[in-house]
Amino acid sequence: MALLTQIHNPVLWQEITHQERSTPRWTQRTGVVGILALVFFLVYVTTALVNSPGYPTTLFLLYAIWILHIATALRALVAGANVISREHVGQTWDALALTGVSAQRILLGKWLAALRQVRGWMLLLGVLRLAALPIFSVALAKTYAYYTCGMNSSNTYSSFYGCDAGTPFTLVPWAALIGVLMTVMLTILDVMCCTAIGMAASALTRRGTSATIVAILVRFAPVLIFAGFARYDIGGFSWRWWLYTPFALADGGTSPLMQLVYPVVSWTEGRHVAALPGLALATIMVLTFLASSLGASLVIIRRTGALPAGKKPIGQ
């Protein structure tokens, strides 16, 4: 985000100045608190993984990722929903349009400013999702070993240490690489998508509250729809949901990313390839939301008085 300060865009500079003046100083400490909380959480999860079977740890970590993902999406939607509506509520939009700044530069400046507001949330979500990948892998290995030779012994779980589970635990190199790269890419694209949706709703409704409501409904519609499909086709929530390709559209691609880093055991045969369609669908959905929201924002900005790129106001 340091690159934003090097972009010569008066709208962006105006938004950054507004953010710096209107943001309370105490909120600057929330970043440090968030980092400390994330470190503490990862230490706790790692300790739990060492001292307990892998499946409960996987569930706990998945819930944490989904909760942070929802919070990050909501924060990004709100940030995008306020960047244009603030101009209309404050009756400064006409003055901005009369400055001769092109619609494209207004769009870019407003969007980058919204992204700047949520950069900390995006970083936390990305770090958590990346750190979760090796934990998912180890948790699956422990769960497999437990059910293979731990649960049938007198010493229950602890007895699987040193037992022969029948196959070495190895990763699929290409799948693990895709998992890491797409974790970073999907996190960035999702935040970009949410800010763009909020901005499009802001340009359409011209009011922050109504824009936020519209943006939330648009972004979370796939979550409700495809989670409902999983519930209808599979039944109550279980690990089978993660294997259901449409569910990737509900959880933002987390379930296929988790499957890509699974070790090679009898349970995971074919799962690495089978995870690719879900990952592709989640990526296409986010890119579609992103492109359509930016396109809609540009059209609305032009219709409300901003000029196309390269065109100057009459008289100049």
**Domain extent listing, the chain:** 53-134+171-303
Cα separation of the two ends of the chain: 34
- The predicted pLDDT at position 93 comes to 82
pLDDT above 90 (res 158):
no
pLDDT above 90 (res 68):
yes
Helix (H) or strand (E) holding 64: helix 54-83
Dump pLDDT digits (tens) for 86-119.
Answer: 888 888 888 887 777 788 888 999 999 999 999 9
Dump pLDDT digits (tens) for 14-40.
Answer: 878 777 677 666 666 677 788 888 888
Distance of alpha carbon 101 from its chain centroid, rounded? 32
Residue 167 banded pLDDT, cuts 50, 70, 90: low
Dump pLDDT digits (tens) for 242-299.
Answer: 888 999 999 999 999 999 999 988 888 889 999 999 999 999 999 999 999 999 999 9
* pTM of the predicted protein model: 0.86
* Average pLDDT of the chain, as a whole number: 84
pLDDT above 70 (res 234):
yes
Tell me the DSSP string of 174-239. Answer: HHHHHHHHHHHHHHHHHHHHHHHHHHHHHHHH-SHHHHHHHHHHHHHHHHHHHHHHHHHHH-SSSG
- The predicted pLDDT at position 14 comes to 80
- The predicted pLDDT at position 5 comes to 45
* Beta bridge partner(s), residue 307: 102
